[in-house]
Amino acid sequence: MKIYFSIALSAAIFTNVANAQSLFDYSAPATGSAKCALINVIMDESGSMGGDQTFLKNVALPKMATELHSSNHNYSDVFVCSSGFGYSRTNNAQAYRHLGCTTYNSAGVIANSTALAWYANGAIEDGWYAMKHGMQDVPSSINGTDLLSHCARVDKNLILVTDEDRDDAYSNVDATNIANLIDTNGYILNVIANYGINNNINDFGMNIGGGGSNSTIFRFDSSAPDNHMTYQDFRPYETYVTSFGGTHPHYTELIVDKPGAAWNINSLRSGGLRAQTFADIFVDIKVKEISNGTGGPSGGGGTVRVGGPEAGGDPHITTWNHKEHYEYHGQCDLVMVKDPTFADGLGLYVHIRTKIVRYWSYIQSVAIRIDDDVLEIEGSADAHDDQAHYWKNFEYQGDLDTFAGFPVTQKLPSVYKRTYTIDLSSKFPGQEITIQLYKEFVRVKLNGNEQVFGNSVGLLGDYKTGKTLARDGVTVLDDFTDLGDEWQVLPSEPTLFHEIAHPQFPELCLKPEDPRGERKRRLEESSISEEDAEKACVSLKDPLAIKDCVYDVLATQDVDMVGAF
Ligand SMILES: *[C@@H]1O[C@H](CO)[C@@H](O)[C@H](O)[C@H]1NC(C)=O
Ligand SMILES: *[C@@H]1O[C@H](CO)[C@@H](O)[C@H](O)[C@H]1NC(C)=O
Ligand SMILES: *[C@@H]1O[C@H](CO)[C@@H](O)[C@H](O)[C@H]1NC(C)=O
Ligand SMILES: *[C@@H]1O[C@H](CO)[C@@H](O)[C@H](O)[C@H]1NC(C)=O
Ligand SMILES: *[C@@H]1O[C@H](CO)[C@@H](O)[C@H](O)[C@H]1NC(C)=O
């Protein structure tokens, strides 16, 4: 239920909403205890790639997995996913296919090699489309393990392997979109491509900093320790690094000023000790990147979710950058996010209305204001109710093709699940606001980087630091009851909900009496027993997901809650 009882702000920009429950949610916090790595390979499947594919499959990935599992790094789980692009028989315009995900054990043995069964038989090669979809297509659960409930962190690495530039088979993105998406999803990108660094095949890789003019180059040198040395080059990299056609604007630009690196596929192809050194350094650097803890979105990632195991449905709030994770038990209208300067002064206000039911609570509705437009959305407890319950500028079911000038789309994957998407692309390419409903429970995703939400204040804290700041912008409130109360909507703030609900300031937020004690008593009295709930949830494989499910079924007394996992 944590999936649906939530308000998540973040980063999963291109999540396929209809399948959201089965895909990995980049915006949600990892709540388990395992140390996990996720390596996502985006592989060119054109005819010339066979050797590079073999290198990755037989040398680099097994080595990486072994090293990550070893006591040098202590990863308990190494997941690998791959997607191919450019295979001539793939039946879509972008010649893209997702091959699946699996695990590596500590001996570097892959559990299901189908995930890396690439072809080498070429067609259209659109690496942007493949990276976007390769990230999107990661499932929430790999080989029976639900990543977010099993892992305490998921350190993500993206490897693009290609020997050409990009064929444009998808014009809805640009390089900035893709770079932002990689960042907000929390990946570090490495590009293995057709480079000539100083026309020297011994220069097998480079990290590019200084806006393109301060690169650290890795050079094969059999007389040096570990057969390599590094040096800096302060010229603009385009002046001494050759590539295949548009490789630089298409792919190299994506790693400038990032921790990832560009790697020379020709050094790899040359074989011998040089290729072996390439492999050693590639693995070494990638393992360092991965273990550097890049697990979360670098921007975004604040969440408010209601439900989950710890408190049986009380709101759980995770601030920007996952810095704090707290519960707030009150019922009232709250300022989740506020930024009067949003989008060159249009302004953004997101208010949530929480509701206590018996001993648990949830987010009942959300109201958003951008510019002079107000959109309020709520769900419905009636599983047969297929009406859209929203108010546009206080008018029930008012015209909703656009909101504050941004296009809005609605999807209805089933009667009791509904999604609204506000596409912010005209101001912020690729960014959007999504509201998902599951029965009466509301979830909002604000998918945006620092450019979009960097100035926001509210329950989610300071965007850059995640600090739980009071309204004065300085005081850090460590008591989360104080923090929630602090962000109760004030009369000086805009009225966004069409109906005034009790309480309104100066009346303070309502608090449940002894939520945990009452909860315990109610569970003992409830008509759906713990055994019934366990039976209903047993089809879920992950033990932590089962635990969440049992709590949620008991809290709501609704066996159908299993469907929310
Ligand atoms: C990994 O775990 C082992 C055994 O607990 C420990 O000795 C080692 O220091 C750990 N390594 C790291 C990098 O934490
Ligand atoms: C291996 O992965 C493929 C692709 O995801 C899948 O179709 C197949 O069922 C898997 N094999 C096993 C034994 O699970
Ligand atoms: C799942 O992982 C285990 C342990 O690595 C492995 O034995 C099993 O074959 C894997 N199953 C699939 C379907 O990948
Ligand atoms: C160039 O980059 C290196 C490595 O990141 C850094 O140590 C060095 O300070 C940078 N030099 C300049 C002049 O910016
Ligand atoms: C590790 O993270 C630190 C701090 O974010 C950064 O300065 C450093 O370059 C990173 N190292 C690698 C290998 O990514």
Asked if residue 440 and residue 468 are part of one domain, the reply reads: yes
Please name which of 171, 165, 142, 137 lies closest in space to residue 154, comparing C-alpha atoms: 142
Closest ligand by atom to 76 CA: 1
Cβ(74) to ligand 1 under 6 A? yes
The ligand minimizing its distance to the Cα of 233 is: 4
536 plus 399 within the same structural domain: no
Kindly state whether residue 234 falls inside one of the protein's structural domains. Answer: no
Residue at 159 is within a domain:
yes
Pocket test for ligand 1, best of 69, 72, 74 (most atoms within 8 A of CB): 74
Question: Would residue 263 count as lying in a domain?
Answer: no
What is the residue-averaged pLDDT of the chain? 82
How many angstroms is it from 99 CA to the middle of ligand 4?
39
DSSP 436-475: EEETTEEEEEEE--HHHHTT-BSTT--TTT---B-TTSS-
Query: For the chain, what is the domain count?
Result: 3
Residues 475 and 539 in one domain: no
Ligand (nearest to CA of 214): 4
Position in ligand 1 atom list of the atom nearest CA 74 = 1
Contact call for residues 65 and 138 (beta carbons, < 8 A): no
Which of 20-24, 106-110, 188-192, 463-467 has the weakest average pLDDT? 20-24
Cα 229 vs. chain centroid, distance in angstroms? Answer: 36
pLDDT confidence tier of residue 544, bands split at 50, 70 and 90: low
Q: Range of 540's domain?
A: 526-565
Paired sense of beta strands 96-104 and 151-161, if any = unpaired
Same domain? For 383 and 458 the reply is yes
Element (H, E) at 214: strand 214-220
Q: How far is the CA of 118 from the centre of ligand 2 (A)?
A: 14
Do 453 and 549 lie in a common domain?
no
Mean pLDDT in residue range 69-87: 92
Pair (509, 538) in one structural domain: no
The per-residue b/e assignment along 175-210, b for 16 or more CB within 10 angstroms, e otherwise, is eebbbbbbbbbbbbbbbbbbbbbeeebbbbbbbbbe
> Ligand 3 centroid to 100 CA: how many Å?
13
553 lies in the same domain as 482: no
- Domain annotation covers residue 239: no
Residues with CB under 6 A from ligand 3: 102-103, 105, 111-112, 143
What is the b/e burial string over 56-79, where b = at least 16 CB atoms within 10 angstroms of the residue's CB? bbebbbbbbbbbbbeeebebebbb
Q: What pLDDT shows up at residue 4? A: 26
Whether 292 maps to a domain, the answer reads: no
Q: Could you tell me if residue 174 is inside a domain?
A: yes
Check if the beta carbon of residue 326 is closer than 8 Å to that of residue 317: yes
Handedness of CA 267, 269, 274, 275 (dihedral sign): positive
CB atoms under 10 Å from CB of 272, counted, come to 9
Q: Which of 44-58, 145-159, 421-435, 506-520 has the lowest mean pLDDT?
A: 506-520
Quote the Cα angle for 130-322-34, to 5°: 75
Contact 441, 306 (CB under 8 A): yes
Q: Is the pLDDT of residue 394 over 70?
A: yes
**Whether residue 297 has a cis bond before it, omega within 30° of 0:** no
Closest residue to atom 1 of ligand 1, CA basis: 71
> Residue 421 has what pLDDT?
92
DSSP classification of residue 28 = S
Domain-terminating residue out of 140, 155, 185: 185
**Could you write out the DSSP letters of every residue in 491-538?**
TTSPP-SSS--S--TTSPPB--SSHHHHHHHHHHH-SS-HHHHHHHHT
Decide if 188 contacts 135 (C-beta within 8 A): no
Query: If you search the block for the tokens 């089933």, which residue do you land on?
Result: 414
Tokens describing residue 414? 């089933």
**Predicted pLDDT at 525:** 63
Helices (H), 55-162: 61-69, 127-136, 147-150
pLDDT tier at 79 (50, 70, 90 boundaries)? very high
Q: Which of 207, 232, 233, 289 to mutate to test the pocket of ligand 4 (most atoms within 8 A of CB)?
A: 232
Q: Calculate mean pLDDT across residues 312-316.
A: 40
Domain termination site, one of 164, 185, 206: 185
Q: CA-to-CA distance for 510 and 516, rounded, in angstroms?
A: 16
What is the per-residue pLDDT for 252?
94
Closest CA to 449 of 475, 480, 427: 427
What percent of the chain shows pLDDT beyond 70? Answer: 84
Note whether 314 and 369 are same-domain residues: yes
Task: Tell me, yes or no, whether 22 and 111 share the same domain.
Answer: yes
Q: Which residue has the higher pLDDT, 324 or 26?
A: 26
Cα(90)–Cα(516) distance, rounded to whole angstroms? 54
Range from 89-103, 235-249, 404-418, 438-452 carrying the lowest mean pLDDT: 438-452
CA of 57 to the centre of ligand 3 (A): 17
User: Residue 127 is part of a domain; what is its CATH number?
Assistant: 3.40.50
Any domain includes 312: yes
Question: How many angstroms is it from 337 CA to the middle of ligand 2?
Answer: 43
Ligand 5 within 6 A of CB of 288: yes
Same domain, 492 and 534: no
Provide the 3-class DSSP secondary structure of residue 261.
Answer: coil
From residue 51, give the alpha-carbon distance in Å to each of 42, 172, 207: 15, 32, 24
Over range 464-483, report the average pLDDT: 88
pLDDT at residue number 286: 80
Last residue of a domain, one of 133, 156, 185: 185
Minimal CA–CA distance to 501: which of 318, 306, 330?
330
Q: Please tell me the distance between residue 114's alpha carbon and the centre of ligand 2 in angstroms.
A: 6
Q: Would the CB of 347 count as within 6 Å of ligand 4?
A: no
Residue minimizing CA distance to atom 8 of ligand 3: 111
Do 339 and 445 have their domain in common? yes
CA–centroid distance, residue 344 to ligand 2 (Å)? 49
- Helix, strand, coil fractions of the chain, as percent rounded to 5: 30, 30, 40
3-state secondary structure of 210: helix
Please check whether residues 409 and 470 belong to one and the same domain: yes
Closest atom of ligand 5 to 289 CA is 14
In a domain, 235, yes or no: no
Residue 184 or residue 326, greater confidence = 184
For ligand 2, say whether the CB of 82 is within 6 Å of any of its atoms: no
